[in-house]
Amino acid sequence: MNSVNTLWEYRLQPEDAGQKYLSILKHKFHFSLKVLQHLKQGERVWVDGCFTYLTARGKEGQLLTIQLFAEEESPIQGEDLPLSILYEDDYLLAVNKPVGQVVHPNRRYPNNTLGNAVMGYWERKGEQRLFRPIHRIDRNTSGVVIIAKNQFAHQQLAWQLERGHIHKRYYGFVHGYLRADSGTINSPIGLAPNSFIKRQIQETGEPSRTDYRVIRRYSEACLLEFILETGRTHQIRVHCESIGHPLLGDDLYGGDTSLINRQALHSSVYAFLHPVTGLPLVIRAPFPEDLRHLLKALNKAKE
């Protein structure tokens, strides 16, 4: 199997003159200490085509080139599984995760996960990479999952995520009729007593904020758009239950399963800056078949 090396390039600007390359990479581009340590191993840093050290100082106009290292062998077994690719380049892979699929293999779900599918896809292309999802969504939540193709891309996107620079939008169908067009749920979430899975609102929980907007009202349900200010486990599901409007199909948090047999929640949009170009990137995932059927059923009931 072939390892994958990717080149990162930057033309030094006037403000970079006299600065150490190490300082430019660390402070201007937020290279992590772990990535910088890897760059010190072997000839991975060049200026105008010639090898240099990170401690050397730069000059305006120089072309700084970094060879991002090949990945180690992944412990995840690749499998030939369907993969719905929304976007791909040398640094990122964005997929539309189906309902019922776990993101990362674990003891309960060692196979048929998104990780197995992605590794199988890369193996068929002859590429050796690690599976580095930027985030996870629940097994029965569908939609966008972003995977970094190398440690640098992962570190850059993790930096954006930690600082709230990645904007996530979900769509969900909730029980009941919301009169307000929009609102905010700002309630801390913690693990429910005697449970390893269920969460609940509790004063000692982690700060959690969900903004929502009503997209469409039906006779006994509403389609909402959610914008997450934080990313707690089951956040939307817990917050919807807390205001008396659980997600349709979410029997863990009080939802009815007569119209759909899983929480009617979809990770629809991820907007962020590309880890290399810095340009805005928006990834969108269309509704899966079960949510399209739910839409038809609700529209028919409204007629």
Give catalytic residues, as residue numbers. Answer: 138
What burial class does residue 157 get, using C-beta atoms within 10 Å of its C-beta: 0-12 exposed, 13-18 middle, 19+ buried? buried
Alpha-carbon dihedral 22, 132, 291, 247, rounded to 10 degrees: -80
End-to-end Cα distance, the chain: 57
Q: 3-state DSSP call for residue 303?
A: coil
**Residue from 213, 192, 221, 205 nearest 298 by CA:** 221
CA separation for the pair 112, 124 (Å, rounded): 16
**Residue from 247, 246, 211 nearest 228 by CA:** 211
CA separation for the pair 52, 255 (Å, rounded): 60
Partners of 209 in beta bridges: 186
C-alpha distance from residue 288 to each of 112, 195, 248, 260 (Å): 18, 30, 15, 12
Whether residue 1 contacts residue 126, with contact meaning beta carbons closer than 8 Å, is answered with yes
